[in-house]
């Protein structure tokens, strides 16, 4: 099991006091304990994802029936809040928002690519995609220790907050209106990348200021998500590097 499971009422309530280490909270559908509502309220307060699942699922995750119907899955690396991520961004900054990327290895390689391209933070939705686990850490080759990762309760809301902070939102889309090689990248860029099969969700597309495409030879219509993100991120990186060299 890649994520570490902590279970039982007391242990879970203590873990919820450090929400930056939590991927998700799982509660048994069958539970009738009075204190469950208090645990859910605590999760909501700290913006921790929670789901009700069959008790058999908790038995499987923990290897015991003594979990009291409540389990938290712990990330091997701490998340940061969106506010803290933004506070650490330089005036010219790039962020990478991943819209439900499913494969942990792809997630790890995307984080590694982001680190190499000077990205100031990676945003993940709390639902629908892979979260941080040991497979992600290994695939990132340690880069995950150098890029802040935000676990967003609502990705579209996070993108709206980025706009308020001066970021322009670009979605990577095979049907994009603009060629990624011809974009005049602004000082603050958030690149949204969809998942491996469906691309960006309709909600994420709606949040974009522009959608950009990578031109390809006839008969080819898609790239691996890591390759596609790398091409776009290094276009932004090259623009930043060129501007810096001109100023020196």
pLDDT recorded at residue 143: 93
Tokens of 27: 């509660």
26-41 per-position pLDDT tens digit:
999 988 889 999 999 9
pLDDT for 243 beyond 80: no
Question: Of 97 and 47, which is predicted with more confidence?
Answer: 97
Query: What whole-number distance in Å separates Cα of residue 237 and Cα of residue 194?
Result: 20
pLDDT recorded at residue 186: 95
| Whether domain 82-247 has CATH 3.30.420.40 | no
108-146 per-position pLDDT tens digit:
999 999 999 999 999 999 888 999 999 999 999 999 999
Pick the CATH number of 4-74 from 3.40.50.2300, 3.30.1330.30, 3.90.850.10, 3.30.930.10: 3.30.1330.30
pLDDT for 210 beyond 90: yes
Query: What whole-number distance in Å separates Cα of residue 1 and Cα of residue 13?
Result: 22
For the chain, what percent of residues have pLDDT higher than 70? 97
Domain coordinates in residue numbering, the chain: 4-74, 82-247
Contact at 8 Å (CB) between 58 and 71? yes
The single-letter DSSP state of residue 64 is S
pLDDT recorded at residue 245: 66
Contact at 8 Å (CB) between 94 and 237? yes
pLDDT recorded at residue 6: 93
Chain mean pLDDT for the chain: 92
* Contacts of 164 by beta carbon, 8 Å cutoff, 6+ apart: none
Tokens of 217: 């030879």
Query: What whole-number distance in Å separates Cα of residue 149 and Cα of residue 74?
Result: 15
Tokens of 91: 């005036």
The alpha carbon dihedral of 172, 111, 62, 52 has a sign of negative
127-160 b/e (C-beta count within 10 Å ≥ 16 → b): eebbbbbbbbbebbeebbeebbbbbbeebeebbe
Region 168-172: mean pLDDT is 97
Region 155-181: mean pLDDT is 95
Q: What are phi and psi of 81, to 5 degrees?
A: -75, 160
Region 85-109: mean pLDDT is 96
pLDDT for 200 beyond 50: yes
Strand 93-98 with 70-74, pairing: unpaired
Q: pTM for this structure?
A: 0.89
pLDDT recorded at residue 1: 41
């Amino acid at each position: 099991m890649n994520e570490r499971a902590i279970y039982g009422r007391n242990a879970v309530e203590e873990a919820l006091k450090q929400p930056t280490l939590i991927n998700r909270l799982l509660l048994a559908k069958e539970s009738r304990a009075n204190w469950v509502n208090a645990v859910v309220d605590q999760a909501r307060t700290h913006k921790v994802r929670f789901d009700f699942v069959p008790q058999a699922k908790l038995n499987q995750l923990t290897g015991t029936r003594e979990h009291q119907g409540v389990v938290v899955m712990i990330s091997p690396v701490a998340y940061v809040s969106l506010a803290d991520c933004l506070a650490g961004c330089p005036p010219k900054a790039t962020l990478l928002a991943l819209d439900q990327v499913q494969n942990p290895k792809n997630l790890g390689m995307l984080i590694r690519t982001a680190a190499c391209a000077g990205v100031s933070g990676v945003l993940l939705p709390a639902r629908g995609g892979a979260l941080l686990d040991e497979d992600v850490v290994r695939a990132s080759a340690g880069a995950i220790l150098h890029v802040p990762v935000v676990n967003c309760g609502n990705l579209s809301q996070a993108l709206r907050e980025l706009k308020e902070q001066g970021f322009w939102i670009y979605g990577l889309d095979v049907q994009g209106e603009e060629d990624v090689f011809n974009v005049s990248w602004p000082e603050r860029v958030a690149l949204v990348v969809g998942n491996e099969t469906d691309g960006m969700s309709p909600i994420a597309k709606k949040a974009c200021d522009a959608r950009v495409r990578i031109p390809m030879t006839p008969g080819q219509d898609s790239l691996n998500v890591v390759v596609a993100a790398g091409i776009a991120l290094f276009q932004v990186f090259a623009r930043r590097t060129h501007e810096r060299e001109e100023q020196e």
